[in-house]
Amino acid sequence: MTSSLAGRAAVVIAALGSTLALAPLAGAKSTPVENERKPIVDPRADYLLREMSKYLSGAEQFTVRAHILFDDVLPTGQKVQYAAAEDIAVRRPSRVYTEYQGDLGAKQLWYDGKSITMYDSGANVWATTPVPAKIDAALDDLMKKHGFSPPLSDLLYSDPYEILKPHVQFGLYLGTSVIDGTRCHHLAFVDQEIDWQLWVEDGTEVVPCKMLITYKSLPGSPQFEAVFSDWEFGARLIDSQFEPKIPAGATKVDFLTSEMGPARGLAKK
* pLDDT digits 0-9 by tens, 88-141: 999 999 999 999 999 999 999 999 999 999 999 999 999 999 999 999 999 999
- Residue 138 resides in a domain: yes
Overall domain count for the chain: 1
Distance CA 54, CA 49 (A): 9
Is pLDDT larger for residue 33 or for residue 64? 64
Alpha carbon separation from 228 to 22, 69, 196, 225 (Å, rounded): 16, 12, 16, 10
Q: Indicate the pLDDT class of residue 28, thresholds 50, 70 and 90.
A: low
Whole-number pLDDT of residue 190: 96
Whole-structure pTM value: 0.85
Domain with 132 in it: what CATH number? 2.50.20.10
Mean pLDDT, rounded, for 51-62: 96
In sequence order, what are the residues at sequence separation of 6 or more whose Cβ sits closer than 8 angstroms to the Cβ of residue 100? 19, 20, 84, 85, 86, 106, 107, 108, 109, 151
Q: What local confidence, expressed as pLDDT, does residue 213 receive?
A: 95
Predicted confidence band of residue 256 (pLDDT cuts 50, 70, 90): confident
pLDDT at 15: 40
Q: Provide the residue range defining the domain that includes 97.
A: 3-260
Q: How far is CA 195 from CA 25, 60, 211, 220, 264, in A?
A: 11, 30, 11, 14, 20
CA–CA separation, 100 and 106 (whole Å): 5
The pairing of strands 182-190 and 40-41 is unpaired
pLDDT of 149: 83
pLDDT at 16: 43
The answer to whether residue 39 is domain-embedded is yes
- Choose among 99, 88, 92, 137: nearest CA to 115: 137
Average per-residue pLDDT for the chain: 85
